[in-house]
């Protein structure tokens, strides 16, 4: 059997010493497990706290009678296509934070022998760690195969269109109080596609809710201005519906995430990086000119548009800021971004315009080296990234990237215009 989706194993059972803590948790939570699994006809995994697989089965009914019959200790990420690792990690970490938390997401998994090379799966993650529970059994993951990429699914998720107009088709991402959907606008010919971000206000504090609504309107106005740029999705609408939910409706961009071009261990040539920076910097020049810091530049937030191969920058963090306020927190103190792409000042909650340049530089280095940003070594004395020994570059480009990713932002390039000038000076 080739590597891929695991089948139940017939290997000898583990020793009693290994099973004792697991069975203790199982006894406490068997009923919950049964309810979670009984109606599921797809794959089921039970994961440890470190993300390794404790049990895997394609036969849920048998799973309840033989659990636990295998301790594989295989990392679940090894089943997921590299371009979806970030999405999985974010969902997994979010689910771990709260007992009873449920997170849904779509990822591509390596298929089993006799199946297509890549299988889209809709995964539901549930944190099973209740009060007094043990960390040996943490996460239940159930998966249902999809017929194609989420953007190609057309089965409605709700009978009634949102606001009497937008028909939800597919859940693209879910995290905390925010969900992102592919939808169709029923008032346009042929039900034009769009993307809808839905924020549920969970705080009972009326002041927090009022603040969230004000921020929602302010962010929507900013996105409306930014959408005048050809490489930023247009804001189509924003509204509250029903009383507790806020919606942003944006243009749907047909294409692929840049993460699909950045595979671990497969470096891109120097010319790719130069074109990447030449395409991205004018977008950042425009965004920064409107006083906006993106705060989450990374491959999954860049779409290679199918019509002209230009980059489109998505996800401006507005909903993430709103999410913090909806929970009663202070939006100004929230750290927004993705580890590995965030510079020091952003981790401290004080992002600068040059923070976006740092993230763009990290994407460039990731492309050149084939390394995950979290695996790029640092100088133990200065904290600066050590990457030039991994590649051979023309000195001008190497110097440019070094100045984009300086640890301390005053030593960094300060504007996208400055980066463009340095690119123009390259041989």
Say which residues have a Cβ less than 8 Å from residue 241's Cβ, sequence separation at least 6. 162, 163, 247
What SS3 state is found at 131? coil
Residue with tokens 């089993």, as numbered in its chain: 112
What does the buried/exposed string (b/e) look like for 101-115 if buried means 16 or more CB atoms within 10 Å of the residue's CB?
bebbbbbbbbbbeee
Distance (Å, whole) CA 309 – CA 40:
40
Element (H, E) at 74: strand 74-75
Distance (Å, whole) CA 55 – CA 45:
6
Q: Is 296 a catalytic residue?
A: yes
Distance (Å, whole) CA 67 – CA 62:
8
384 CB neighbour count, 10 Å cutoff: 14
Say which residues have a Cβ less than 8 Å from residue 134's Cβ, sequence separation at least 6. 21, 24, 25
What SS3 state is found at 324? helix
Distance (Å, whole) CA 280 – CA 152:
27
Active-site residue among 296, 308, 315, 379?
296
Query: Which residues participate in catalysis according to the annotation?
Result: 296
């Amino acid at each position: 059997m080739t590597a891929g989706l695991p089948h139940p194993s017939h290997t000898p059972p583990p020793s009693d010493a290994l099973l004792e803590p697991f069975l203790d948790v199982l006894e406490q939570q068997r009923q919950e497990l049964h309810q979670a699994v009984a109606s599921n006809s797809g794959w089921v995994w039970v994961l440890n706290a470190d993300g390794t697989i404790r049990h895997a089965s394609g036969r849920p009914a048998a799973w309840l009678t033989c659990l636990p019959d295998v301790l594989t200790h295989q990392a679940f990420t090894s089943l997921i296509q590299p371009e979806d690792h970030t999405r999985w990690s974010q969902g997994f970490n979010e689910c771990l934070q709260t007992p009873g938390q449920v997170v849904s997401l779509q990822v591509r998994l390596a298929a089993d022998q006799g199946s297509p090379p890549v299988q889209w799966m809709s995964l539901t993650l549930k944190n099973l760690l209740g009060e007094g529970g043990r960390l040996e059994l943490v996460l239940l993951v159930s998966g249902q195969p999809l017929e194609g990429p989420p953007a190609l699914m057309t089965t409605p998720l709700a009978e009634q269109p949102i606001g009497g107009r937008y028909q939800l088709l597919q859940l693209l991402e879910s995290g905390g109080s925010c969900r992102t959907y592919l939808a169709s606008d029923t008032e346009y010919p042929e039900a034009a596609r769009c993307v809808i971000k839905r924020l549920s206000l969970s705080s009972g504090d009326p002041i927090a809710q009022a603040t969230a609504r004000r921020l929602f309107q302010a962010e929507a106005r900013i996105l409306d201005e930014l959408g005048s740029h050809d490489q930023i999705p247009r804001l189509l609408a924003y509204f509250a519906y029903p009383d507790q939910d806020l919606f942003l409706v944006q243009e749907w961009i047909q294409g692929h995430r840049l993460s699909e071009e950045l595979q671990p261990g497969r470096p891109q040539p120097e010319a790719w990086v130069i074109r990447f920076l030449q395409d991205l910097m004018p977008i950042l020049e425009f965004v920064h000119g409107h006083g906006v810091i993106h705060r989450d530049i990374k491959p999954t937030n860049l779409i290679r548009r199918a019509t002209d191969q230009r980059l489109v920058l998505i996800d401006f963090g507005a909903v993430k800021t709103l999410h913090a306020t909806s929970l009663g927190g202070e939006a100004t103190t929230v750290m927004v971004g993705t580890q590995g792409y965030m510079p020091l000042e952003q981790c401290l909650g004080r992002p600068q315009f040059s923070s976006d340049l740092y993230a763009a530089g990290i994407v460039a280095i990731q492309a050149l080296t084939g390394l995950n940003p979290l695996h790029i070594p640092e100088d133990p004395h200065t904290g600066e990234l050590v990457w030039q020994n991994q590649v051979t570059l023309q000195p001008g480009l190497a110097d440019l990237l070094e100045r984009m990713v300086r640890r301390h932002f005053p030593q960094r390039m300060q504007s996208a215009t400055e980066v463009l000038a340095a690119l123009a000076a390259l041989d």
